[in-house]
A and B are shown apart, each in its own frame.
Chain A
């Protein structure tokens, strides 16, 4: 039994190491859902939010991620939103994510329950 547990642990570690190694970089421009939001990840932890349908929407922030979760802090004027998402790579150009924890100006709020999809934007969308 101990051996089985050890084997599973080793397998998981190896898998995660492999998957971590294989995980593509987030950097680039991502189109989110059908709302027209565009996330631009750049540098080490920089995040910029815009919208393809409304140029007045602008937000700046930072992010960090591990293999399964992604945390971002976005500031828009006097509102600071902190978001924690579980995410999975669907392919090298698409990710699905589900909100786990949201705060607005440090106040916890209900987070959307549905999975959200984001794909690398085509040139025209940028």
Chain B
């Protein structure tokens, strides 16, 4: 049955009711829904407002945590081992501060270090500071270990004496001074994690003031440096980009609607959906991360997209229904609620696919973005009628049509010619395939949070500097357990020495820090041997043989019961796999020292494990997105063919984006891992709207003619949608946090590509093979 239509091809308002039984049922449901919303609008508005206030309160309880290690599952072996290690060898949170001097005498450098030390010592939360003043050095023939031997405060030494002492104790002092004396450093032990931000701020402020000197450049790093920097960048982005995104979308919407009421009607449901979503974040005490901070930038364009379709159709229907808003809304909802629900559902699925990942950042991002998408859909449907009831504008469809499509006719005619007449679209495929093969092989995974920071950030610069001069910033620990006999004999330590030598010989290993240099130094002083029983007796004494300073130092390397010792291994950023190094060490120890039990863990290993998790997350999320999205399409359109057709453009688009990632050198990290699902979740909408448009318009006759109409009718909202969504995401290109920047640019490109591919390939496929569904839901071709 065909509808009677206006000259422009629109159905005549009252005729729709009698189109068919199925359609009239839908019409009745939608009319009832609209009537219900209109009748109970005050109650609904009150409920929504109350809920919004409730959730707004919980937003204030949100806690920020950008520590990537916290996103690693606690059941992961690497994390369990690391926790065990930290329990055996409890260490404070530390910050490494370095200063590079381009001129000045050694004494001047030490004086500078001393004054900074005094300043930092006064900061709240600083437990103690280790530097050249506190290196544990054996003296008096090895019968004493002094911490003020190298740089004595009581009895200031001459420069040559200091140099001589440092030179003789290089193994013990090299952490604090470089061989050419150009770099001096200190390690700050922080009492509690809570003071971390204050301390970082003060140290960075101090660093910046020191850097005013043309002769000094400072560097700092710490296990918590990356989270601190990410949080700082996130706050900046949040305060700058969110208003920018909002402003841009506001302007774009106004440019499209030329009606403030429609702009507000579009934005208010999204704002409410975001308040509810972040209220849930606070309510469930989910830590707020940099990944969650991009949800508003995702939800604004996504939420707006459905509204553009609804409001465009509403404007048309309002003209057709001669200003009867309820009827116009009912027809609009009848046509668009299903595709809008489907677009929201597919977007929801693409984000919810992260609900199964082990990485908590990504999991929460997936869940809460899904919640936001769902809420945005519900609020759109519920709130739009309330605003539109106030719509007194009288924009006729003719005017709207002329405004929207007129200048774009050239574009749609061009696309129509390209896909339907010239068939040149066929040449896109081989080019795409070649580009994808090349790009795919270039995609890399990088789980190091420091790599996510801007190149010019102090942490990133420090990372490069320390990697070059001090053997790297990423580290892991090797914990050796001696079984029955404690580490109190020279034989035991000789074995440890062999293990240390083996680790040092591994590719990618920078430094190995252990108690061995102290044992060697003391043994040489006492017995002229590299390892002597006497030295070991003194070092491994369970009493404070050399005092509490030495005992505190020893705790980092030897357990209380002397059955476990720790070796700290720093890794260079050479690209060598840490996990391969770890496997080699484990194999060496298990083959050569069967009586030792070895546990290897630490941040470097956690990062590698994180890399594996990222790859798994990416693969599983793509599978759990594509299959349900395909099934949704099949179920909703009741056609396998439509299912296949609709996912075809998005498969091509996402493959293209992957290849682009490789070609642009963008790595898969904790942030960019969500790019693909975002592209699929939003990109599939264009297929849905295009296919829905075709099915709604095509009631028999010539497919090509219908396709031409659909390209014109659906092309414009798809183009507006692409512009609004794409530009909304493109705001992230101005982010100061590189992964957000990459994410924004990739999604922006993917929106354009998805829209283009949807129009081109769906037109081509439908033209070639055809699609339609009969009343019984069975496909007919």
Chain A residues with CB under 8 A of B543: 58, 76-79
Query: A112 interface residue, CB < 8 Å from B?
Result: yes
Does B544 lie within 8 Å of A57, measured CB to CB?
yes
Question: What mask results when residues 192 to 231 of chain B are scored 1 for a CB within 8 Å of chain A, else 0?
Answer: 0000000000000000000000000000000000000000
Query: A66 interface residue, CB < 8 Å from B?
Result: no
* Complex interface residues of chain B between 521 and 553 (CB less than 8 A to chain A): 525-528, 532-534, 537-538, 541-549, 551
Number of interface residues of B (CB under 8 A): 27
Chain A residues with CB under 8 A of B541: 76-79
Chain B residues with CB under 8 A of A99: 141
A6-14, A21-29, A86-94, A101-109 - interface stretch: A101-109
Does A107 lie within 8 Å of B549, measured CB to CB?
no
Does B144 lie within 8 Å of A56, measured CB to CB?
no
Does A110 lie within 8 Å of B548, measured CB to CB?
no
Give Cα A54 to B145, complex, Å: 12
Look across to chain A and name the residue whose beta carbon is closest to the beta carbon of B539.
A79
Does B549 lie within 8 Å of A104, measured CB to CB?
no
Q: A51-B547, A79-B543 are in contact. Are A110 and B537 (CB under 8 A)?
A: no
Chain A residues with CB under 8 A of B143: 102, 112
Query: A123 interface residue, CB < 8 Å from B?
Result: no
Chain A nearest CB from B137 CB (Å) reads 13
Give Cα A125 to B526, complex, Å: 30
Does A56 lie within 8 Å of B534, measured CB to CB?
no
Query: A111 interface residue, CB < 8 Å from B?
Result: yes
Give Cα A35 to B148, complex, Å: 11
Does A104 lie within 8 Å of B547, measured CB to CB?
no
Chain A residues with CB under 8 A of B534: 104-105, 107, 109
Query: B87 interface residue, CB < 8 Å from A?
Result: no
- Checking B146, B525, B532, B537 against A79 with a beta-carbon cut-off of 8 angstroms, the contacting residue is B537
Chain B residues with CB under 8 A of A113: 141
Give Cα A38 to B120, complex, Å: 33
Chain A residues with CB under 8 A of B542: 77-78
Look across to chain A and name the residue whose beta carbon is closest to the beta carbon of B538.
A79
Chain B residues with CB under 8 A of A77: 541-543, 545
Does B545 lie within 8 Å of A109, measured CB to CB?
no
Does B141 lie within 8 Å of A112, measured CB to CB?
yes
Chain A nearest CB from B780 CB (Å) reads 90
Give Cα A74 to B676, complex, Å: 71
- Checking A51, A56, A102, A112 against B551 with a beta-carbon cut-off of 8 angstroms, the contacting residue is A56
* Complex interface residues of chain B between 45 and 87 (CB less than 8 A to chain A): none
Chain A nearest CB from B532 CB (Å) reads 7
Chain A residues with CB under 8 A of B545: 57, 76-77, 79
Give Cα A6 to B187, complex, Å: 69
Question: What mask results when residues 42 to 85 of chain A are scored 1 for a CB within 8 Å of chain B, else 0?
Answer: 00000000010110111000000000000000001111000000
Does B140 lie within 8 Å of A78, measured CB to CB?
no
Query: B287 interface residue, CB < 8 Å from A?
Result: no
Does B533 lie within 8 Å of A105, measured CB to CB?
yes
Chain B nearest CB from A100 CB (Å) reads 13
Give Cα A112 to B139, complex, Å: 10
Look across to chain B and name the residue whose beta carbon is closest to the beta carbon of A113.
B141
Give Cα A110 to B342, complex, Å: 85
Chain B residues with CB under 8 A of A76: 541, 543, 545
- Checking A34, A54, A104, A111 against B548 with a beta-carbon cut-off of 8 angstroms, the contacting residue is A54
Query: B323 interface residue, CB < 8 Å from A?
Result: no
Does B527 lie within 8 Å of A110, measured CB to CB?
yes
Query: B142 interface residue, CB < 8 Å from A?
Result: yes
Look across to chain A and name the residue whose beta carbon is closest to the beta carbon of B562.
A78
Chain A nearest CB from B654 CB (Å) reads 64
Give Cα A79 to B545, complex, Å: 9
- Checking A34, A35, A111 against B141 with a beta-carbon cut-off of 8 angstroms, the contacting residue is A111
Question: What mask results when residues 278 to 316 of chain B are scored 1 for a CB within 8 Å of chain A, else 0?
Answer: 000000000000000000000000000000000000000
Does A56 lie within 8 Å of B538, measured CB to CB?
no
Does B140 lie within 8 Å of A56, measured CB to CB?
no
Does B527 lie within 8 Å of A109, measured CB to CB?
yes
Look across to chain A and name the residue whose beta carbon is closest to the beta carbon of B544.
A56
Give Cα A34 to B525, complex, Å: 20
- Checking A57, A102, A109, A112 against B547 with a beta-carbon cut-off of 8 angstroms, the contacting residue is A57
Does B532 lie within 8 Å of A109, measured CB to CB?
yes
Q: A107-B533, A107-B534, A110-B527 are in contact. Are A35 and B544 (CB under 8 A)?
A: no
Chain A nearest CB from B557 CB (Å) reads 18
Chain B nearest CB from A41 CB (Å) reads 19
- Interface pairs (8), CB distance under 8 Å: A51-B547, A56-B551, A58-B544, A78-B488, A79-B538, A110-B526, A110-B528, A112-B140
The 3 closest A-B pairs by CB, nearest first: A77-B543, A54-B547, A104-B534
Write the residues of chain B forming the contact surface with A, with a CB cutoff of 8 angstroms: 140-144, 146, 154, 488, 525-528, 532-534, 537-538, 541-549, 551
Other than the given A109-B142, A110-B142, 6 more pairs (CB < 8 A) read: A54-B548, A76-B543, A104-B537, A109-B526, A110-B526, A111-B141
